[in-house]
Amino acid sequence: MGFLRFDSPLMRFLGKVADLLWVNILCLLCSLPVFTIGASITAMQTIFYRLLHNEDVYVTREFFASFARNFKQATLVWIILLPIMAFLGYDYIALGNDGDPKAFFLKTVAGILFLIVFVIFLYVFPIISRYENSTKETIKNACIISITHPVRSVLLLIVFAFSIFVELIISYKLLPLLFAFCVSVPFYFCSMVYMPIFDKLDGVTPGKPTDVAEE
């Protein structure tokens, strides 16, 4: 029964599912204070890098190692981005849809700015997990990547939105399943979108094992 061997495609797939489940739980638990969400997402990205490059990964150990190593910078970036996204999101909702051309214009601007900042949010924590730069340079690099890779940036939004949409449908009858993968699955599929950008920057051949940190 070759499909039950540890190195069989089925067992590798099940192992990856188990890793996604466990890293999801770790990310949720470590995000409970709210201000630690940035560090939790960064640690999760470290695990995804390993998984997407088919490397052996010790999820718990490497998650907390990344969490501690990047805590200060990831938390600072999160504290910067959160109020901006909250402000833009609030403006978009508060402006309503009463047919006023001025309100419609402002609502559109708020919506576009929110999406731009959210794309930067999706790029910035993988950058923190992978590279050692100042906070200013990290945010700057996230902005540059989002602008110089518009197709992937739009695809990131689509993939994230579609993942959330599917999860909401599933949660209608399978709420425990949503809890088990609510964070890891959307970010994992987003990682598949942006990872080729970093691989190209690093000169990494897809599928070839690499070192995680360059710190």
User: Which tokens go with 200?
Assistant: 């190209």
Predicted pLDDT of residue 196? 92
CB 24 within 8 Å of CB 183: yes
pLDDT of 1 > 80? The answer is no
pLDDT of the residue at 166: 82
3-state secondary structure of 182: coil
Condensed to tens digits (0 to 9), the pLDDT of residues 3-19 reads 455 566 777 778 888 88
Q: How far apart are CA 185 and CA 160, in angstroms?
A: 9
Task: Return the pLDDT at 16.
Answer: 83
| Mean pLDDT computed over 107-115 | 92
What is the distance between the terminal CA atoms of the chain, rounded to a whole angstrom? 43
- What is the pTM assigned to this prediction? 0.85
* Percentage above 70 pLDDT, the chain: 85
Report the pLDDT value the prediction gives residue 206, as an integer from 0 to 100: 53
Q: Pick the closest to residue 38 from 59, 61, 62, 67 (CA basis).
A: 67
User: Which of residues 180 and 108 earns the better pLDDT score?
Assistant: 108
**106 has a pLDDT exceeding 90:** no
Residue range 152-170: mean pLDDT, rounded: 88
Q: Tell me what the pLDDT averaged over the chain comes to.
A: 85
211 or 152, which is more confident = 152
pLDDT tens-digit readout, 181-215: 778 889 999 999 999 999 888 876 655 544 433 33
